[in-house]
Structure 1
Amino acid sequence: MTPEWWRTAAIYQIYPRSFADASGDGVGDLAGVTSRMDALAELGIDAIWLSPFMTSPQRDAGYDVTDYRDVDPLFGTLTDFDAMLEAAHARGIRVIIDLVPNHSSDQHVWFQEALTAAPGSRERARYLFRDGRGPGGHEPPNNWQSIFGGPAWTRVTEADGSPGQWYLHLFDSSQPDFDWTQREVRDEFLDILRFWLDRGVDGFRVDVAHGLIKEDGLPDYIQPEDADSMGGEAEDDVPYWGRPGVHEVYREWRALLEEYDGDRALCAEAWRPTARETALWVRPDEMHQAFNFPYMMTEWDAAALRTVIAGSLEAFPAVGAPATWVLSNHDVIRHASRLALGADSPQGHGIGPLSPGKPDPVVGLRRARAATTVMFALPGSAYIYQGEELGLPEAIELPDEARQDPTWFRTNGERYGRDGCRVPIPWEAGAPAFGFSATGASWLPQPAEWRALARDVQRDDPASTLSLYHDLLRLRREESLASSDLEWVDGWPMHVLAFRNGRVTVIANTGSEDVPAPEGMRVLCASGPLGEGVVPVDTAAWFIAG
């Protein structure tokens, strides 16, 4: 019996507004994705994951949805989506789409109905409306803070003009949270799933999958200042992250997906402190995959990497799920910069012109290539964020007036947010907007130094990061590394990560001194040049006998 495709897939994340612009308006679109499908097939990936493209006022780059069953005109039409899906499937590429169930846009018809309805009505019950505290209800119902900064509550004006109830928004005030204790909300999303499954999608990446259920009574809670914004390091009991009731939702979703042919898949964005906790989202009757954020946020340190890899390979298979591996996405500093930061930068804060501990770009790229070489040798499924195959760093020097992340505005510029990892990617060095848009328009400015990182510059350079990704993905398939068993290789210094997967032995040097290469073995692939008989600092290599 052939294993389900998602157990071993290499999945490429497309952030549509920054991938390829076919219309020329400076914002990427679905027709742009279709136009670059051959490049994706050439890279050797198995599936793509599309970040939101549904109808939205774009207050949070599409993570504020007004219509879950249509395409925003910014990205095209349902016909464009169908053409993109067909183009992908014709090349053997599966398509996962982003679904945002924790909250809608405040322009969603349901929320607009709630604003004109009375407290206690069916319309308000779909969201988390509450009376305020204190005299006249002038204080928010609790002290929760938005992930983007500022209070997590906004007060409405009732139909008669009087100050009214408050609604919860864990993110921007334009993103009211649904009340997932309501059957109507659950049934609505089951219908939304059916709409896209009937259209032919192969699965869903579920946004804020750990946040749908809030603790009864909504008790006060303040997140520590230095904590990751999505709760990835939360060791205490957070009343809006990881509540047990959320698993009932995904059991219903899993049952629905199993009514369809073709191994449709659910992947959870569940920011949990450990792999063991994350694995609760991928038990046999729940989701199929969950992003391994503890792995993504691990520093470039052999001992730390071994700990999180070992924990992942214990926790996920224990519940019948594959481990997943990821180094970058649209919410975190690109790993070509993050792995060389000289100061802490919690998830969601971002880095910019005035940030302390800016990364050394040479060290960052060297470590990023080595980290990727390690990741593609691990058993399970791997995720790639668009542009990382080009070695793109974080865009740090964005001008203030160009920034669009709500985090920047809600913190009055104290946090730079996520714009730096969302800048449109370069395709052709000599083209307008580096080939992103024929008109030269770009919704975020592209760094001039990205010209040298354009895909056409790297494509025929065997030493380029793009060539490294091609080689790693090809060898990953040829050696069946995604479905083999990992075995640790001991006897190396503490700063060396060493393991064997199938026929391949992986040596990664995270220290400050070169280490000897394994004797009697030949190099299959390496993240950078190897010295005579040594693996240099910040380098990883695959070796094979003979």
Structure 2
Amino acid sequence: MTTPATHPHHPAESHDAPWWRHAVIYQVYPRSWADGNGDGIGDLPGITSRLPYLADLGVDAVWLSPFYVSPMNDAGYDVADYRDIDPLFGTLDDADALIAQAHELGIRVIVDLVPNHTSSQHEWFQAALATAPGSPERDRYMFAEGKGADGSQPPNNWQSVFGGPAWTRLEGADGTPGQWYLHLFDSTQPDLNWENPQVREMFTDVLAFWLDRGVDGFRVDVAHGLIKADGLPDWHERTGMLGSHEEEHRTEGAQPARAPMWDQDGVHEIYREWRQVLEGYNPEGDPAKDRILVAEAWVEPVERAVAYVRPDEMHQAFNFGFLECAWRAEDLHQVVTDSLDAADLVGAPSTWVLSNHDVVRHASRLGLEVGVTRPNGIGVGDVQPNNALGMRRARAATVLMLALPGSAYIYQGEELGLPDHTALPDEVRQDPTWERSGHTERGRDGCRVPMPWEAGQPTYGFGPGHQSWLPQPEIYGPLAVDRQQGVAGSSLELYRTLLATRRELDLGVGELVWDDGFGPDVVAFRTTDQAGVGVHVIANLGAEPVALPTGAEVVLSSAALVGGELPTDTTVWLRVG
């Protein structure tokens, strides 16, 4: 083949860059990771018992979805007490033991923080219900009078992300209708009023509470939602996490409109205050001791998204553009380019993620027709993914992702190649999206099904009991950890090799150089350190095999080469330097 035309795009960083600029972070969904007491629900002792698995996998940190006291109307994202552990998951002593064990194994701990809303059972909301309109207690939330002569219409037309109205009207003890309160999610998740100083003070205290217990950072849920536009104007698009991100709401070439409930400029003042709190826990400025903030901010365009990671705000923001990207070479090239360019503008690392607890797992998602809008859950009667195709593309996508400079996120079980449970019976669903959408969107249960550890055990070794809070599909048996450990070519061993090689070659702080010497259906680049050592990455998304450079030494490949060529839906790392 001809000598490729290359051009540098992203400069290499020093080998001693702060840990969070290149970390691989593993998300644990506590309900579904490991059940220590046999009640069918994962817990903190279960997580602690399985931490050696993560150390062997080779991750740098673990991010835990919420474990706080909660009525569990939204699986813990409805918090009733931010300073205690729900008995479902254990105790504060269990949390301390988990943090200590993780640190002993060299794994940092990031915990979820849910600041946009509380549970309706939080003591603050209960106090608000017990007081009159205009009280200081009600000012902590978003209460408003209704429209119309009798106030019977909601204050505006906003809809909940989960479906249905975003406003609920109160009734007095005598049945007299009263004020309305805002809930962008479930009606049991009232939105806080972040213009109220008491709200800000409370969360500053919560940060300190967990930092004092040794956590290494916070993933901030709905980070773009805390401040609402003045006057709460009507919004005539669907209330998705991106506002009008759905294709049917966008004219060609136009950026989505900014919804009044998302990405208001006032959020940035909050995160500058939080950054100062975290900096206070590392007064000597030791990069190894940095505590970090990670934004879940579904924001477009990417230039607004990276505003959350300016030097005095958060450290990382999830790259949802990469997660949402279609399996097309042109699209992948563009989203990587845009992500790196935008992050470089503010001196931040880009992040890369393919799956999490809110989306259809990429082993299933990539088995759908290319270009199909990502479904909010897949169930019985829906178009089913092509499992074999999805797995092949998932492996290829992961091999590509883990060569990119920056920080990468892995969602529990993706290293096993777990698909969504796309045949989960509707009657066992627990995501409030299913009911609130009028059974039009199945929601997120399919990606939250418990982990399989041992194929021959009840619940595939998830716990000592005979049932799990969501049933597992039969395909999880052959994919269990004990069926993949030590098996050459298994998904688990591929991930272990990827993470070990990524760390050995410092790919997370590498320079990215695009390689234009292949056709339009190929994504090709080099990631190398400051000494020029690294990998040449080639991903073939086309229909025909691709010839590799003469004499190339293969480091690893997502699937076997055929006759020395790279087959369709396969990514390879070649040695450089």
Q: TM-score, normalised by structure 1?
A: 0.97
Give 1:429 shift.
Answer: 0.6
Residue 229 of structure 1 and its aligned partner are, at CA, apart by 6.2
Distance 1:273 1:426 in 2: 36
Matches within 5 A, 1:497-512: 497-502=523-528, 503-512=534-543
Matched, 1:532 2:558: no
Aligned-partner residue type, residue 189 of structure 1: F
**Does the alignment pair 1:33 with 2:54?**
no
> In terms of mean alpha carbon deviation, does 447-456 or 267-276 score higher?
267-276
Secondary structure at the aligned position of 2:466 is classed as coil
1:367 aligns with 2:393: yes
Counterpart CA distance in 2 for 1:56 and 1:543 is 49
CA contact (8 A) 2:238 2:244 kept: no
Measured against aligned partners, the alpha-carbon deviations of 1:253-277 in whole angstroms (never above 9, x if no partner) come to: 0011000022000000000123222
Structure 1 range deviating more: 216-225 or 104-113: 216-225
C-alpha displacement at 1:510, in angstroms?
Answer: 0.9
Residue 432 of structure 1 corresponds to: 458
SS in 1 for 2:99: helix
1:160 Cα deviation (Å)?
5.2
Q: Which residue of 1 aligns with 2:134?
A: 120
Partner residue of 1:97?
A: 111
The aligned residue for residue 72 of structure 1 is 86
Q: Post-superposition shift, 1:440? A: 2.0
Tell which deviates more after alignment, 317-326 or 206-215.
317-326
Q: Distance in 2 between matches of 1:93 and 1:392?
A: 23
Provide the secondary structure at the position in 2 that maps to 1:76: coil
Amino acid at match of 2:557: A
After TM superposition, the structure 1 stretch with the greater mean CA deviation from structure 2, 342-351 or 519-528, is 342-351
Task: Give the alignment's TM-score, normalised by structure 2.
Answer: 0.92
* Superposed CA offset, 1:153-182 (max 9, x none): 000013554100000000000000000011
Q: 2:150 is paired with a residue of what secondary structure? A: helix
Q: Matches of 2:551 and 2:129 in 1, distance apart?
A: 72
Paired with 2:223 and 2:375, the residues of 1 have a C-alpha distance of 17
CA contact (8 A) 1:97 1:201 kept: yes
The alpha-carbon distance between structure 1 residues 154 and 348, as it changes in their structure 2 partners (threshold 3 A), is farther
Q: 1:199 and 1:232, CA in 2 relative to 1: closer, same or farther beyond 3 A?
A: farther
1:168 corresponds, among 182, 185, 203, to 182
Residue 59 (str. 1) matches residue 73 (str. 2): yes
Deviation at 1:3, TM superposition (A): 2.0
- Relative to structure 1, the CA distance from residue 128 to residue 191 in structure 2 (aligned partners, 3 Å threshold; closer, same or farther) is same
8 Å contact from structure 2 (residues 365, 374) kept in 1: no
1:462-541, aligned counterparts within 5 Å?
462-502=488-528, 503-541=534-572
1:439 is matched by which residue type in structure 2? G
After TM superposition, give the deviation of residue 412 of structure 1 in Å. Answer: 2.1
SS state of the match for residue 135, structure 1?
A: coil
Residue 238 (str. 1) matches residue 247 (str. 2): no
- Structure-1 separation of matches of 2:458 and 2:344: 47
Alpha-carbon separation, structure 1, partners of 2:135 and 2:73: 27
SS of structure 2 residue aligned to 1:171: coil
User: Partner letter of residue 442 of structure 1?
Assistant: S
Report if aligned partners of 1:339, 1:367 keep a CA contact under 8 Å in 2.
yes
In the TM superposition, residue 237 of structure 1 has moved relative to its aligned partner by 2.0
Query: 1:77 & 1:270 partners in 2: Cα distance?
Result: 30
Deviation for aligned residue 1:389: 0.2
Where do residues 78-477 of structure 1 align in structure 2 (5 Å cutoff)? 78-159=92-173, 161-224=175-238, 235-261=256-282, 262-342=289-369, 349-356=376-383, 358-477=384-503
Give the aligned length. 544
The answer on whether the counterparts of 1:228 and 1:348 sit within 8 Å (CA) in structure 2 is: no
Contact 1:99 1:204 in 2 (8 A): yes
Cα 1:500–1:42 shift into 2, 3 Å: same
Asked if the contact 2:120/2:190 (under 8 Å) is kept, the reply is: yes
CA distance in structure 2 between the aligned counterparts of 1:476 and 1:46, rounded to whole angstroms = 12
Query: Given that residues 454 and 480 in structure 2 are in contact (C-alpha distance below 8 angstroms), is that contact kept between their aligned partners in structure 1?
Result: yes
**RMSD of Structure 2 on Structure 1 (CA):** 1.5
Q: Which amino acid aligns with 2:538?
A: I
Q: Residue 464 of structure 1 aligns to which amino acid in structure 2?
A: S
Structure 2 counterpart of 1:270, which letter?
A
Change in Cα spacing, 1:469 to 1:343, as seen in structure 2 (3 Å) is closer
Q: Give CA deviations for 1:374-426 in whole Å, capped at 9, x if unaligned.
A: 00000000000000000001111011111000000111211100000000010
- Structure with the larger RCO, 1 or 2 (CA within 8 Å, 6+ apart): 2
For 2:408 and 2:38, locate their aligned partners in 1 and report how far apart those are by CA, in whole Å: 32
Q: Distance in 1 between matches of 2:491 and 2:396?
A: 11
Q: Percent identity?
A: 58
Q: Distance between the aligned counterparts of 1:134 and 1:419, measured in 2?
A: 39
Structure 2: distance between partners of 1:134 and 1:329: 42
Aligned partner of residue 95 in structure 1, secondary structure: strand
Which runs of 5 or more structure 1 residues have no equivalent in the other structure?
none
Query: 1:203 touches 1:264 (CA, 8 Å); kept in 2?
Result: yes
Contact 2:243–2:258 (CA<8 Å) still a contact in 1?
Answer: no
Is this contact kept in 2: 1:116–1:158, CA < 8 A?
A: no
Give the Å deviation of 1:347.
5.6
Please give the alpha-carbon distance, in whole angstroms, between the structure 2 residues aligned to 1:537 and 1:347: 22
Quick check: 1:169–1:177 contact (8 Å CA) kept in 2?
A: yes
